[in-house]
Structures are given as structure tokens and as C-alpha cells.
């Protein structure tokens, strides 16, 4: 009798191998399903902001969750079923690694990122505190507003809104840098103005001009307003110097006859030089006439000060 023959023993061995493979498949499928459920629960507890902060890790977890599970049939041979077993075993092994990644994102990495962002917030707060005095002087209320915003970031960190916090920190750091440059520049200009004022007071005293009253801000609540300095020239009456952050204007009663104005202001200019103050006197309405008003005033900072060559 011709044809392929199978012994009863061979059939029983194949049947047993098939059954063993099917058992392994069912066990692995159950384990994989359990891991999938666990990973899903963990991911649901992780705020979207935390996931967005660790895109690579989160993507690997999602990729595993969406991995295709190979199909099988009880009619498959033991060899075919064992290939399915090997594939499922690989998915299961990868699943165990995946659940560890999910836990790491939820616990370790979240805590690590939270500490990192909290540190950045505290650094920004310390930088703000460092220029508190200048901000209170030149930008009243600005410091309080920024500090409130920075303090509000802690609750966002606790909620895991990491990308939002990082973006806000970057924005506030840029704002703090601009504020530092602005208030530092204003303070430097005010320092130059104060130096010029003190020099002017000494020179006026040398010229016999008494102070009519103490120098004062035109608006006591606004440090950017002009400093008014009034002296009594006696022969020509009161003279009021107006010192802005950019320069000096003066209302001069000194007569222009016979060049008196020019001589007096030229004398004033020469005396200011020894204090490092370089003046240029011009009349805004008649620049070709002999000068009677101070329009520009450059500060030649002495060696004891930081020399910048900046025109005052």
C-alpha cells in the first residue's frame, strides 16, 4: 500500500506538542493582556505635561501598547504554533521593560523634572530679588507682579504641566534680562546726572552763585523726572538748571550784551572740566549766536569712575 503513513506514536507526539504550544500561547496572551492593562492605568495617571516632557519614553510605551498580537489557530502544526510562542515571548519580554518605563516616567522622571524646574524657578526668583531695589525705584510694582507669576509656577509643577512651566520660565528669564538692562541703564544715567549735579553745585559756589533752594525732583514720585536746581546769580537774578537723564537745560537771565552770557557760561564750562564734566553751550533758537543755554553736556568720567566715554 503506497502513500505517506503516520504511526500512532507520531500523531500523539504532534498532538502533545500542539497542546503544549497552545498552553504557552494562552499563558503568554494572559500575561501580555495584564501588562497592557497595567501600563494603561499607569499612563492614565501621568499628566499630559509629564508625558510631553519625555516624548521618547512615552512613544516607546505607546508603540508597545499598539504592537500587533499574532493570530493563531488550533489547526496549526506544533512548529507553526511554536513560532507564535516565540513571537509572543518577545512581546511579553518587551512588555515587562515597557511597564518599567511607564513607572519611571510616572515616578522617577517626573520627580527629577519637577526638581529641575523648581530649581530654575528659584534661580529666576533670586535674580529678581537681586534687582529689587532698582525695580522699586524705576519700575514700581513690576517686581511684585513677576514674583507672583513665578510663585504660581510651583502649583503647575505639582500638576505636571512641565512644558508650560518651561516655556514660561524661558519667557520670564528673557523679560528679567531686558528689565535688568533697562533699570541698570537708567541707574547709570541717574548716577551720571547726580555726579554732574554735585559738580555744578561746587562750580556755582566758586562763581559766587548761592543756592536758592535744595535740588529736588520735579516729580518726587518719578525718579525719571528732571532735577531742578536753582541758584541766585545776584547781578542777573535766579537761574534754574533742569537736569534730565539725557542732559541739561537752563533758563538763564544773564544778559547777552557784550558777550557777557558767553563769558559766564564759558567760565562755568571751564570750571566743570576739572570734575570730568564736558559742556557744550548752544542756543536752540539761534545756534549761530554766542551760546547762552546748555543743550548738551558730556560726562568725561574720571579714573575713579568707570570710564565709558558715553555722552551725557
Higher pLDDT, 298 or 12: 12
Domain range enclosing 293: 187-299
Residue 254: the pLDDT is 53
Tell me if 104 is assigned to some domain: yes
Could you tell me the sign of the dihedral formed by the alpha carbons of 135, 301, 207, 249, in that order?
Answer: negative
Does residue 52 contact residue 105 with C-beta atoms inside 8 Å?
Answer: no
Hunting for cell 507520531 — which residue is that?
10
From CA 128, how far away is CA 180, in angstroms rounded? 9
Residue 46 has pLDDT above 80, yes or no: yes
Condensed to tens digits (0 to 9), the pLDDT of residues 68-123 reads 889 988 888 989 999 999 999 999 899 888 888 888 888 888 888 898 999 999 99
Residue 264 and residue 235 in contact, taking contact as beta carbons nearer than 8 Å:
no
pLDDT digits (tens, 9 = 90+) for 164-204: 999 999 999 999 999 999 999 999 999 989 988 998 888 88
Cβ pair 240, 251 in contact under 8 A: yes
The mean per-residue pLDDT over the stretch 132-148 comes to 90
Instruction: Please report which confidence band the pLDDT of residue 264 belongs to, taking 50, 70 and 90 as the band edges.
Output: low
Instruction: Give pLDDT tens digits for 36-45.
Output: 888 888 888 8
Q: Which of 45, 80, 112 is the last residue of a domain?
A: 112
**Helix H or strand E encompassing 296:** strand 294-299
Residues 96, 13 share a domain: yes
**248 confidence band (pLDDT: 50, 70, 90):** confident
Q: Which among 200, 192, 142 is positioned nearest to 305, based on CA atoms?
A: 192
One domain, residues 108 and 191:
no
What residues have CB less than 8 Å from 190, skipping those under 6 apart?
223, 245
Q: Mean pLDDT, to the nearest integer, of 249-272?
A: 59
Question: In whole angstroms, how far apart are CA 203 and each of 5, 23, 110, 218?
Answer: 127, 105, 66, 22
Least confident residue range of 40-54, 183-197, 275-289: 275-289
Helix (H) or strand (E) holding 230: strand 227-232
Cell of 74: 488550533
Contacts 24+ apart (CB under 8 A), 125-131: 125/150, 125/151, 127/176, 127/180, 128/176, 131/179, 131/180, 131/183, 131/184
Is residue 310 pLDDT above 50, yes or no? no
Q: Among the three residues 89, 112, 135, which one is the final residue of a domain in this structure? A: 112
218 vs 229: CA distance, rounded Å = 10
* Alpha-carbon span 134 to 136, nearest angstrom: 5
The pLDDT > 70 percentage for the chain reads 76
Residue 191 lies in a domain: yes
Listed range (1-15, 33-47, 122-136) with the worst mean pLDDT: 1-15
**CA gap 162, 52 in Å, rounded:** 8
- Mean pLDDT check: name the lowest of 8-17, 63-72, 104-113: 8-17
Output the pLDDT for position 185: 92
38 found inside a domain = yes
Place of cell 568720567: 301
The pLDDT-based confidence of 268 (bands split at 50, 70, 90) is low
The count of other CB atoms within 10 Å of the CB of residue 208 is 11
Give the single-character DSSP code of 107: I
Do residues 192 and 288 both lie within one domain?
yes
Residue 227 lies in a domain: yes
Segment among 19-23, 150-154, 277-281 with least mean pLDDT: 277-281
Which of 80, 112, 144 is a domain's end point? 112
The mean per-residue pLDDT over the stretch 42-70 comes to: 86
Task: Please check whether residue 162 lies inside any domain of the structure.
Answer: no
Looking at the fold, whether 202 and 285 belong to one and the same domain comes out as yes
Mean pLDDT of all residues belonging to the chain: 80
pLDDT at 4 over 70: no
Q: Is residue 159 a part of any domain in this protein?
A: no
State how far the Cα of 134 lies from the Cα of 303, in Å rounded to an integer.
25
**Number of domains, the chain:** 2
Of all residues in the chain, the percent with pLDDT exceeding 90 is 29
At a CB cut-off of 8 Å and minimum separation 6, what does 99 contact? 35, 38, 39, 42
Helix segments in 159-297, DSSP class H: 162-206, 260-273
In a domain, 163, yes or no: no
Q: pTM of whole model > 0.85?
A: no
Residue 134 covered by a domain: no
**Residues forming beta bridges with residue 248, ordered by sequence position:** 243
pLDDT digits (tens, 9 = 90+) for 210-235: 999 899 999 999 999 999 999 888 77
Amino acid at each position: 500500500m503506497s502513500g505517506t503513513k503516520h504511526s500512532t506514536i507520531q500523531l500523539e507526539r504532534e498532538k502533545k506538542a500542539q497542546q503544549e504550544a497552545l498552553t504557552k500561547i494562552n499563558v503568554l496572551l494572559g500575561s501580555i493582556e495584564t501588562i497592557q492593562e497595567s501600563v494603561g492605568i499607569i499612563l492614565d495617571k501621568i499628566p499630559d505635561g509629564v508625558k510631553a516632557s519625555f516624548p521618547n519614553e512615552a512613544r516607546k510605551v505607546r508603540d508597545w501598547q499598539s504592537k500587533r498580537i499574532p493570530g493563531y489557530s488550533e489547526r496549526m502544526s506544533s512548529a507553526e504554533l511554536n513560532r507564535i510562542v516565540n513571537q509572543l515571548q518577545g512581546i511579553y519580554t518587551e512588555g515587562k521593560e515597557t511597564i518599567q518605563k511607564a513607572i519611571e516616567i510616572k515616578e522617577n522622571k517626573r520627580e527629577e523634572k519637577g526638581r529641575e524646574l523648581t530649581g530654575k524657578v528659584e534661580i529666576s526668583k533670586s535674580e529678581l530679588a537681586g534687582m529689587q531695589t532698582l525695580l522699586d525705584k524705576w519700575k514700581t510694582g513690576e517686581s511684585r507682579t513677576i514674583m507672583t507669576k513665578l510663585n504660581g509656577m510651583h502649583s503647575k509643577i505639582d500638576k505636571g504641566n512641565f512644558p508650560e512651566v518651561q516655556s514660561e520660565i524661558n519667557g520670564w528669564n528673557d523679560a528679567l534680562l531686558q528689565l535688568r538692562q533697562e533699570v541698570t541703564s537708567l541707574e547709570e544715567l541717574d548716577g551720571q546726572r547726580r555726579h554732574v549735579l554735585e559738580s555744578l553745585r561746587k562750580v556755582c559756589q566758586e562763581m559766587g552763585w548761592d543756592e536758592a533752594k535744595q535740588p529736588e525732583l520735579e516729580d518726587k514720585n518719578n525718579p525719571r523726572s528732571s532735577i531742578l536746581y536753582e541758584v541766585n546769580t545776584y547781578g542777573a537774578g535766579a537761574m534754574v538748571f533742569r537736569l534730565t537723564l539725557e542732559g541739561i537745560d537752563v533758563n538763564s537771565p544773564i544778559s547777552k550784551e557784550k558777550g557777557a552770557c558767553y563769558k559766564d557760561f564759558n567760565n562755568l564750562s571751564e570750571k566743570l572740566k576739572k570734575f570730568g564734566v564736558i559742556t557744550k553751550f548752544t542756543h536752540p533758537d539761534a545756534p549761530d549766536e554766542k551760546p547762552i543755554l546748555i543743550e548738551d553736556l558730556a560726562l568725561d568720567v574720571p579714573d575713579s569712575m568707570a570710564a565709558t566715554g558715553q555722552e551725557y
